[in-house]
Structure 1
Amino acid sequence: MAAMAEFNNIRSVTEMPEGDDVKRSFHHRMFLEPQEKKRSMKALVVKQAKKTCSCTPARIKDYVFSFFPVLQWLPKYKLREYLLGDIMSGVIVGVLLVPQSIAYSLLAGQEPIYGLYTSFFASIIYFIFGTSRHISVGIFGVICLMVGQVVDREIQRAGYDLEPAALISPVSFCLSLCLGFVSVYLSDSLLSGFVTGASFTILTSQAKYLLGLDIPRSSGIGSLIATWINIFRNIHKTNICDLITSFLCFLVLIPTKELNEHFKSRLKAPIPVELVVIVAATLASHFGKLRETYDSSVAGHIPTGFLPPHPPDWSLIPNVALDAIPIAIIGFAITVSLSEMFAKKHGYTVRANQEMYAIGFCNIIPSFFHCFTTSAALAKTLVKESTGCRTQMSGMKLIWLVTMAASALISTEIGLLVGVCFSMLCVIFRTQRPEAPLLGWVAESETYESLSAYKNLQTKPGIMVFRFEAPLYYINKECFKSTLYKQTGVNPVWVKAAKKKAEKRMLREKEVDSGGNQTSISMDFVSEPLGFHTIVIDCCAVQFLDTAGIRTLKEVCKDYGEIDVQVLLAQCNPSVRSSLIRGEFFKEGEDHLLFHSVHQAVDFALGAQGHSGTSASKN
């Protein structure tokens, strides 16, 4: 390979330096001895298996304490320091929990009592298995909306009055089996956009209750638009009593919420306005006989006590298993995001795997007690954290816009899928056409920066430094070559083609005139020098190479080598180095020609060409 020949020539020059400049360049050449290779995969598997399968008392104790975090922190509980804040936070969250559980149960297509069951069991189970001190696990509006859509669909599909409560246990059970398998692909902007879009759907689903309209719930693609169309078609049937009640509730809730936020530093506890509104509305409905007089909508009778446990209806699981996947992803991702956010704020750590177990058990066990899907509840978590909770004792703009619009206008499930796909496409697009600038030298240092980003950078004579700011793989290999050719101003393929064309012309002229024109044509061809003899590729931003990337580097080195331009690689990480060696980029014994810094590669090239000095031009 021509580029390898150039490398061999340079190596011979370096090993026999002549002159102070070349000696100084050779003095900067640095070789690092690689670490010994790690154990084989078989040895690692055997070691991990022995560690996992050991049954010593210490191992069993560690496993039990790891699986039940409550056994670790409860014996260390500081009564005087923690108890007051935990009690206050628990009472306030409990006060908030009651009205939210009733409202969200209706959103999920269930009777209010099932929301109370769900919040009760989930709080106890997370107390035992959870690692976050501040999140409150219960029912969450977005999750309830998605569960409600499944319940409505299955009831319509059954063709008879299937008990809604019979569906929620299979959904919860399936949910616990699907947790977290793609939640790593959900960015903060994606989650925020999804929750915002779903919030529009939640608001839309509640609009008919605010107006007292009896219209069927729309589901599927475009349910938000269909719901508003039905509302405006039936707007003349608005129940005036329900409308006035809704207006009065807003009139109390919104200002009080603002006061709580404004005076939260002075208030020991926020005003429980939700509970006040529930109590006042219940008393007004009962004593004013609003149901009998004005046909006002009421939640109905809420029984006391617990229903006996009952296993899920296993026959429904095939129907709801697919729906459980997006619900599981959102629930787990929101839980982990909130856990990590508050853990970072308060200086402790959470274990994502243990959080997966905790939320899984919060859905498996309650599924036998007539409960539906749970996750971290955003509103209750914020209240819990802001009211002094100390332990578990108390119980990208474009991505955002696309996810929000898809979740609101299409459907929540499709919106989530659109958000994930669009996020992954954004990552691909960023690596498909990355930044690839030429670099200049920062005077009196060993640093090289982008010539297009900074002024007063200097360039070395005859050397171009090029940085590709992305992994080099099959998607962007053509972009790498075209950008390199554009930045250097030389396409070696075209130069070779022009050279061959000129040689053919010279042969034809020679046949006509054996002496006269050959020299002039040859001089015409070489009268335009390239202006550089070395290209240094800064690989600091190249995280990995695939076979297509290695092949592209080989082609670049070969093409430039054929026009007497050498290509050097600098700042390759160990993964890239290994890929180059495995891909036989270098001949045997030439892997030391990879440089550990751009400055080292430039000095090497200058020494090989017999140049000294520092700058030829300024940018």
Structure 2
Amino acid sequence: KSSNSCLSRCKNTNCLLGTVPVVSWLPRYSIRENALGDLISGISVGIMQLPQGMAYALLAAVPPVFGLYSSFYPVLIYFIFGTSKHISIGTYAVMSVMIGGVIERLAPDSNFMIWDNETNSSIIDVTSRDAERVRVAAAVTFISGLFQIVLGLVQFGFVVTYLSEPLVRGYTTGAAIHVIVSQLKYTFGISPVRHSGPFSLIYTVLEVCYLLPQTNVGTLVVSIVAIIGLILAKELNAYLSKKLPIPIPVELLGIVIATVVSWQVDLNGKYGVDVVGLIPSGLQPPALPAVSLFGQVIGDAFALAVVGYGIAISLGRIFALKYGYSVDSNQELIALGLSNSVGGFFQCFAISCSMSRTMVQESTGGKTQVAGALSAIVILFITLWIGALFEDLPKAVLAAIIFVNLHGMMKQFMDIPALWKSNKVDMVVWVVTFILTVLFNPDLGLAEYIAVRQVPGILIFHSSATLYFANAEMYQDALAKKSGFNITKILSAKKKLEAKRKRHEKKNAKKAKKAAKNNAVDPGKVTRDMIFTVNDEAFFRNYNEVQLRTTPPTPIPLSLSLIYILVHFISPTSNIKLRPFLSVSSTFFHSISCPPALTCSLFPLFLPLSLAGVVDNLQTGGFFNEKVTKSCLFYTVHDAVLHCQSSRKLSQDKVILALKQRTSHSVLKYGSLLLVMNSMLLDEGVSRGGHKILYGCSHCCKCLSSYVNFTWRMC
């Protein structure tokens, strides 16, 4: 009974740590290592959130202050429940324009026309219109969050694997066109009717062209000056990026200068330039979303849920792989869902993550979710005390900020020639998705064998599925799970050790130059070998200590043989998923398994030469590089196994020779990793005693499991 009680408590604890990740990582937060970087990053991102939040609120067709609310509440919720350490949650252009389409459909200007006795004409009741639009935005955001929570609870995070990279990039590029067109009215100072539904973008462009003679010259001048100034400032920022500790807050400087000029010159009164207007101080009290609107927005809410999650998890996985940690896709769904559903009570609109803010958060030293929480505190300070100072900010400047920030999405048009060369099917997916998104709006564009004999020292992984974009992520996860080879932990250990090695090199370089100076040797001629001769024994002793602390609990195999069955086509978006294993070979094992004096073998890739199309796709997809070349290809599994066995002896000979030359300390804990990949069929006609035998490899492997057979070989 006591053991059952203990087990129950452990399960409850694990459930809590999994559902509320902040409980797991915050008590272990290192102030010394992370606090300064998170502080600088949080302030920098918070400063960016101000102009972007106000600008993207215009895209969502709600007052700018609600963009600030959407940059505060959801960020705090994600801090508690999110698993990505680097993505910046908040307003996002694509999500905002999708919400704007819903709002314009359910709360168009025509529904709020009133008669003005002073002018004897119809005018828009802006107060009533904005209040209704906020209700619509909150309702669709709340339902979107509920969808994400439910999908996360039923472990539906894998759905994002069916959003291929060409599809996502084509979709976001098409959505960017909608964003640009929607902001033309603020650039020219005109008032076109906002259309919704299929071909609405074409109708809007035609109406903008028709209204060009009514352009407000003052607004157009402000727009041109703001766009040129922002472009020049961003180019200067990029040029000075290596010399500055943090990037210049270009957007913040832009809105401050524009607000001061507008206030001094009275652009609104003298030249009719449209400005932001009243920004109430403080925060809005929570309110229940409009239940009566749920039925009208349920379809749009599901589209928002999928698109927002797809963008966030894609960006989160990129940085997780870069920094050696894992992102839980189902927990990310729950975190985003809670951010949106709770935000719906506080009049926020749906959020995702922004690439530009994420890059700033990462480049300025942000290392944990604390940076996001600090950015929310910056937004809170602005909202409570200084938000009213931006009431004279021209809306044309916010539109200019949106235009300039979309330059990254516009560069995605370069995908077309690249995909034409690498994979025409992916190019067709990109182009068709883009066209449909532009024409029909963003919300409409989206164990058989029982006995195994293993070759000592070789891990054989077999997948019967065809490798393509939808299962490429699952293939990578299955390989890591079945082999017990956790790449993210290894990369994290590698980065820590690499940083310590660099500090050691720098310290010894100073000592070497000092010693060379004392011995009358030119400091400019100090070589790397001289540097490593200084206190070499102490280094290897320290190296051993570090390696013992970073040693993974699961032994690392010397060789890994991937037997991939029924592969007749590998797209570039699929073979990229294998690159983490290649990066481990060329980075981790070079710096962790071996000291600088040693060399490690790379991943040989095994494919049958008869499938020339597969090899061509790997070539055009950028799979090969200077370290992983076609010389790593083998004709049969048997040849690959023989190579694995011979490379073991050669590697051991090199290790023994290097250790004798360098130091008497034993520093090699694990061997290097050898990857062998085969896309040939099993010979169904060969069997002995009910055991299937690989063609040409009868003495190497008597039987192959339908999913994985493996053996460890330790040096």
The question of a shared fold, defined as TM-score above 0.5 by the shorter chain, is answered with yes
Distance 1:569 1:299, change over 3 A: same
Structure 2 contact 59–97 (Cα < 8 Å) conserved: yes
% same residue: 36
The 8 Å contact of residues 98 and 442 in structure 2, kept in 1 or not, is answered as yes
Following superposition, the deviation at residue 448 of structure 1 comes to 5.9
Deviation of 1:76 (Å): 1.4
Deviations 1:119-163 (A, max 9, x none): 100111111111111111101000000001001101149945651
Segments of 5+ residues of structure 2 without an aligned counterpart are 113-127, 373-425, 447-467, 471-564, 570-605, 616-634, 636-677, 700-715
Q: Is contact 1:310-1:369 (8 Å) kept?
A: yes
Q: 1:309 to 1:55 in 2, by over 3 A?
A: farther
Q: Describe the shift of the 1:449–1:256 C-alpha distance in structure 2 as closer, same or farther (beyond 3 A).
A: same
Q: Deviations over 1:440-470 (max 9, x none)?
A: xxxxxx996418789xxxxxxxxxx9xxxxx
CA distance in 1, matches of 2:267, 2:608: 77
CA contact (8 A) 1:87 1:394 kept: yes
Structure 1 residue aligned with 2:464: none
Q: Secondary structure at the match of 2:303?
A: helix
1:237-252 equivalent positions in 2, closer than 5 A:
237-252=214-229
Counterparts of residues 275-354 of structure 1 (less than 5 Å): 275-354=252-331
Aligned partner (choices 36, 39, 51) of residue 84 of structure 1: 36
> Of residues 166, 187, 190 in structure 2, which corresponds to 1:210?
187
Return the offset for 1:295.
Answer: 1.0
2:430 aligned to which of 364, 384, 400: 400
Say if 2:106 is the partner of 1:154: yes
Cα distance in structure 2, aligned partners of 1:57 and 1:281: 58
Alpha-carbon offset, residue 393 of structure 1 = 0.6
Q: Structure 2 CA distance, aligned partners of 1:276 and 1:107?
A: 21
Matches within 5 A, 1:377-526: 377-395=354-372, 396-416=426-446, 449-450=609-610
2:15 to 63, 84, 100: 63
Amino acid at match of 2:165: D
- Distance in 2 (CA, whole Å) between partners of 1:81 and 1:432 is 48
TM (norm. structure 1) is 0.61
Q: 1:451 to 1:288 in 2, by over 3 A?
A: closer
Name the stretch that deviates more: 152-161 or 292-301.
152-161
Are residues 284 and 322 of structure 1, via their aligned partners in 2, closer, same or farther at CA, if it must alter by over 3 Å? same
Amino acid at match of 1:172: T
Check the 8 A contact 2:40/2:365 in 1, yes or no.
yes
Q: 1:359 to 1:432 in 2, by over 3 A?
A: same
CA distance in 1, matches of 2:76, 2:108: 34
| Cross-structure match for 1:474 | none
1-structure distance, mates of 2:365, 2:608: 51
- Measured after TM superposition, the shift of residue 55 of structure 1 is 7.3
1:300 positional shift: 1.0
* Partner amino acid, structure 1, of 2:344: S
* Cα deviation 1:542-595 (Å, max 9, x = unaligned): 79xxxxxxxxxxxxxxxxxxxxxxxx6369xxxxxxxxxxxxxxxxx9994854
1:195 aligned residue: 172
| Structure 2 Cα separation of the partners of residues 286 and 447 of structure 1 | 68
Which position in structure 2 is the counterpart of 1:569? 684
- 2:136 corresponds to: 167
Tell whether the 8 Å contact from 1:269 to 1:387 is kept in structure 2 after alignment.
yes
Query: Matches of 1:222 and 1:451 in 2, distance apart?
Result: 45
Taking the aligned partners of 1:371 and 1:451, their CA distance within structure 2 comes to 53
Q: Is the 8 A contact 1:110 1:164 kept in 2?
A: yes
Partner of 1:177: 146
Deviations 1:224-280 (A, max 9, x none): 221211111011011000100011111210011112222211111111111111111
Q: Which of 59, 62, 66 matches 1:107?
A: 59
In the alignment, the residues of structure 1 paired with residue 109 and residue 685 of structure 2 have an alpha-carbon distance, to the nearest angstrom, of 63
Alpha-carbon spacing, 1:596–1:393, altered in 2? closer, same or farther (3 Å): same
Determine the C-alpha separation between the residues in 2 that align with 1:178 and 1:122: 16
Q: Tell me whether 1:144 sits opposite 2:96 in the alignment.
A: yes
The 8 Å contact of residues 570 and 596 in structure 1, kept in 2 or not, is answered as no
Normalised TM-score (structure 2)? 0.53
In structure 1, how many angstroms separate the alpha carbons of the residues matched to 2:235 and 2:304? 32
* Secondary structure at 2:444 match in 1: helix
Maintained 8 Å contact 1:570/1:595 = no
Is the 1:190–1:423 Cα contact (8 Å) retained in structure 2?
A: no
8 Å contact 2:312–2:353 — kept in the other structure? yes
**Mapped partners of 1:76, 1:305: distance in 2:** 34
Q: Summarize the Cα distance change of 1:361–1:570 in structure 2 as closer, same or farther, 3 Å threshold.
A: farther
Contact 1:570/1:598 (CA < 8 Å) preserved in 2? no
Whether 2:573 is the aligned partner of 1:596: answer no
Matched residues in 1 for 2:85 and 2:261: separation? 39
CA distance in 2: counterparts of 1:449 and 1:598, whole angstroms? 15
In 2, Cα distance between the equivalents of 1:447 and 1:278?
A: 57
Q: In structure 1, the residue corresponding to 2:443 is in which secondary structure?
A: helix
> Residues of 1 paired with 2:685 and 2:92: CA distance?
51
Alpha-carbon separation, structure 2, partners of 1:254 and 1:448: 51
**Which residue matches 1:561?**
none
The one-letter amino acid of 1:597's match is: Y
TM-superposed CA distance for 1:390, in Å, is: 1.1
* Paired AA for residue 33 in structure 2: E
Quote the Cα distance in structure 2 between the aligned partners of 1:404 and 1:242. Answer: 31
Aligned to 1:365: 342
Structure 1 letter corresponding to 2:167: L
Asked which structure has the greater CA Rg, the reply is 1
Q: Is the 8 A contact 2:607 2:680 kept in 1?
A: no
Structure 2 counterpart of 1:133? 85
The separation in 2 between residues aligned to 1:319 and 1:158, in whole angstroms, is 19
SS in 2 for 1:414: coil
- Structure 2 counterpart SS, 1:221: coil
RMSD over aligned CA atoms reads 3.4
Match of 2:244 in 1: 267
> 1:213: Cα distance to partner?
0.9
Secondary structure of the residue aligned to 1:230 is helix
**Could you tell me how far apart the structure 1 residues matched to 2:365 and 2:300 are?**
37
1:184-204 residue CA offsets vs partner (Å, 9 max, x unmatched): 311122111111111111011
Partners of 2:363 and 2:203 lie apart in 1 by 39
Structure 1 residues 542 and 193 mapped into 2: Cα distance closer, same or farther (>3 Å)? farther
8 Å Cα contact 1:447-1:599 kept in structure 2 = no
Alignment partner of 1:385: what SS?
helix
In structure 2, relative to structure 1, the CA distance for the partners of 1:594 and 1:109 (3 Å cut) is same
Asked whether the 8 Å contact 1:448–1:598 carries over to 2, the reply is no
* Residue matched to 2:232: 255
Instruction: Judge conservation of contact 1:137–1:377 (CA < 8 Å) in 2.
Output: yes
C-alpha contact (below 8 Å) 1:363/1:374 kept by paired residues: yes
Structure 2 counterpart SS, 1:115:
helix
8 Å Cα contact 2:608-2:679 kept in structure 1: no
Once the two structures are superposed, residues 296-325 of structure 1 have per-residue CA deviations (whole angstroms, 9 ceiling, x without a partner) of 111111111011110101111010001111
CA apart distance, 1:54:
9.4
Consecutive unaligned residues in structure 1, runs of 5 or more: 1-49, 417-421, 425-430, 436-445, 455-464, 466-538, 544-567, 572-588, 602-619
